[in-house]
Structure 1
């Protein structure tokens, strides 16, 4: 598959940039890079870039994105993983998170202390090492799963801590990091891990460079609010962010979160990592995809 040629003429580039025009099979306009490593996902720009995952990655790079995340990467065929990794390396896209294990949404998960649940989790962590190495990723998402309502919160916390310590021991020799994602009570009722202070306490208990926090700004706006002070309070354990406005879980500027201020604070703290765009598009088709790009240009500090 041939690489697209970039339009170098500044006048033509400016015209394309102003119109937001980009179409599959046509010359791409290389936009300046974003100031932060915002990471789109597959499908977010499929009307503009086409259905081919590799073309979608190239489109992201053409638009100035410097990273990419893919929750489902672990389940993709090895051949596709390798092809996506090659395009990411070629185009300077840093691979963000993928989900490392099967999440127990309705039945007790790691909080149960069930040895079979623990062993299954650790097997998936071991398998995720190969995926991470194949696609050039450092990060993988871990969600401890549902509460075990027949056990006290202290006992559940002890079970989760032990599971994470064992997972961290698998990841540390490879320089890989699991990022713990607290999820909100409204979208995911009954889960063990919901708050940023809870994730912070787990990371301190595990005490490993391979166990950090994924601070999902959408989830924590719903769960606890107080975004900037909480990010400040738990900063030393936060390694990754995800994005979505509230209500609606769409791109920034469509809801109540002042993303311009949040991003300004994160950048001022010296964060050079990835911020995953884990949300939908507020409008359909090409116009909606162009609106997502414009929204990130508007809030990029």
Structure 2
């Protein structure tokens, strides 16, 4: 639990944010709101931004439940936790229960991510050993991982889980690698379909994650079409895609029917919006016009340290949130 001083600071800061919103509304200029004007009165964001674990550790303390409560007080209606599988089952359940109580949605957690081995592309458990090809063993391992992910999702209330399908396999032509990836994802999708959990494939940039098989939105789109399952979609992390290919809005438009989840971070630096070159105001406007009501994960660091940096993070999201205009 937070100490008295932290609680006072939290209450004062909340009042400041709300006062700012009320002042804008009274002046007749644009103000932050969700899909209903009533919700704007409590400071809720229009877009479903999802802070990540420890984004508010200085403002709310180290307890993850306190961080979630604080995020809700600041207007966030979603939450992310990549490392959810590493938490004890009781903690997963407690997080899910709290999110449900607060009316917040759980975002993605990483169900499987391999950055060293051609598990999917080459059916190899060890990239150093060319003889380690074992389709049955890979299928069994991935199936078990997804069965575990389904149980985790039930406890924490998640609808999506991230999949990073390993590295490239230089011993195979890219077409055969793609075939292997599609086959392995199909096995995993069969497990997810029974529960409604959706795997979201995350293309990663070559600077932070060299040699990964999946790097581009168009590539992920092709794979999802080949898997042909409602449980296999795209996670479009705009930080990665700005580095890899740019043309962010057009790429989203071209792959829109397969995109189920968005994450953001600015370039360069992978910090909060407004610290780099990406025009997130235009992107949020486009997403809103598309009718996107899904989660936008804040998978990035914070530019400035401490309490001030965390307050800056909140204001960064206020500045890119979609606004509606009042007349009077």
TM-score by length of structure 1 reads 0.91
Could you tell me how far apart the structure 2 residues matched to 1:257 and 1:177 are? 28
* 2:92 aligned with 1:81: yes
CA contact (8 A) 1:203 1:211 kept: yes
Matched ranges for 1:30-41 at <5 A: 31-41=42-52
> CA deviation digits over 1:254-290, x for unaligned, max 9?
0000000011101110111001000000100000000
CA contact (8 A) 1:146 1:190 kept: yes
CA contact (8 A) 1:69 1:95 kept: yes
Q: CA deviation at 1:14?
A: 4.3
> CA deviation digits over 1:46-74, x for unaligned, max 9?
00000111100100100000000110001
Partner of 2:255: 234
* 2:254 aligned with 1:243: no
Partner of 2:80: 69
Could you tell me how far apart the structure 2 residues matched to 1:40 and 1:265 are? 21
Could you tell me how far apart the structure 1 residues matched to 2:15 and 2:264 are? 29
Partner of 1:118: 139
Q: CA deviation at 1:174?
A: 0.8
Could you tell me how far apart the structure 1 residues matched to 2:13 and 2:297 are? 31
Q: CA deviation at 1:41?
A: 1.0
Partner SS, residue 242 of structure 2:
helix
CA contact (8 A) 2:111 2:149 kept: yes
* 2:212 aligned with 1:202: no
Q: 1:12 to 1:160 in 2, by over 3 A?
A: closer
Q: CA deviation at 1:175?
A: 1.0
Matched ranges for 1:133-212 at <5 A: 133-212=154-233
Partner of 1:98: 109
Q: CA deviation at 1:18?
A: 6.2
The structure whose RCO (Cα within 8 Å, separation 6+) is larger is 2
* 2:62 aligned with 1:51: yes
TM-score by length of structure 2 reads 0.83
Unaligned 5+ segments in structure 2 are 21-40, 124-133, 323-328
Matched ranges for 1:250-265 at <5 A: 250-265=271-286
Report which stretch shifted further, 75-84 or 212-221. Answer: 75-84
Partner of 1:25: none
Partner of 1:286: 307
Partner SS, residue 174 of structure 1:
coil
Partner SS, residue 100 of structure 1:
strand
Partner of 1:216: 237
Unaligned 5+ segments in structure 1 are 20-29
| Shift >3 Å, 4+ stretches | 11-19
CA contact (8 A) 1:110 1:118 kept: no
